Structure 1
Amino acid sequence: MTDPRAVHSPGEGYAAVAIAASAGGISALETLLGELPAAFAVPVLVVQHLDPRRDTLIAEVLARSTALTVKLAEDGEEPRSGVVHIAPPGCHLTVVAGGALALSDAAPVHFVRPSADVLFESAASAYGARLLACVLTGTGRDGADGVSAVCRYGGTVIVQDPETAQFGGMPMAAVGACPEARVLPLEQIAAVIRALVAAPRR
Structure 2
Amino acid sequence: MYWIIFIGIALISWIVQSRFKNKFKKYSEFPLSSGLSGAEIAQKMLHDNGIYDVQILVANEGQLSDHYNPGNKTVNLSPEVYHGRSVAAAAVAAHECGHAVQHATAYSWLQFRSAMVPIVNIASKLTSWVLLAGVMLMFARQNPTILAIGVGALFLTTLFSFITLPVEFDASNRALAWLEKANITHARDEHDGAKDALKWAAMTYVVAALGALVTLLYYASILFGRRD
TM-score (norm 1): 0.29
Which protein is richer in strand relative to its size?
1
Q: Which has the larger radius of gyration?
A: 2
TM-score (norm 2): 0.27
